[in-house]
Amino acid sequence: MTLILFNKPYGVLCQFTDAGTDGSRPTLSQYIDLPGVYPAGRLDLDSEGLLLLTDDGRLQARIADPTYKTEKTYLAQVEGEIGDEALAKLRRGVQLKDGLTRPADAERIDDPQLWPRDPPIRFRKSVPDSWLSLTISEGRNRQVRRMTAAVGHGTLRLVRWRIGEWSLDGIEPGGWRKV
């Protein structure tokens, strides 16, 4: 079995080809040259961080399938100062258009001092921002962004830091490590 921990940069597609467009967007093939591995789950084009790739179909299903409740931890920079009420809502579960989310582990955190994002997030003098750590056990489309928006804080930057027992520790953007 092969398992790759990849730190996906902002703007990289979670697939090996850019079929259906002009082919100008960066893909996994520009970073990983190992035959037979495929992403276990997805990470949006405008999100960064940990993406697992494997050649083991059962492991791929266990990671991606919400019935297994694999925890995923995200570091989210949001608009505004996130308060106790918003954190409490995230911890109870948030009503989205596709139903109520499972309760999340949500904590306000200090600036995690991550690598610079390219392009940088928009900066507005009149609107403060804050960071939170959010751990969820499901994986709906753009779920973290929709959850923070539902509690009044749009997401500016989103980095997936951990999936289950695996984390980004020591992996630079665009870098990967075989486990």
Contact 4, 54 (CB under 8 A): yes
Q: How many alpha carbons lie under 13 Å from residue 39 in its C-beta half-sphere?
A: 18
What sign results for the dihedral spanned by CA atoms 40, 6, 155, 85? positive
Residue 44 among the catalytic residues? yes
State how far the alpha carbon of 118 is from the alpha carbons of 65, 134, 163, in Å.
Answer: 31, 23, 24
Task: Indicate which residue of 18, 44, 55, 56 is catalytic.
Answer: 44
Q: Annotated active-site positions, please? A: 44
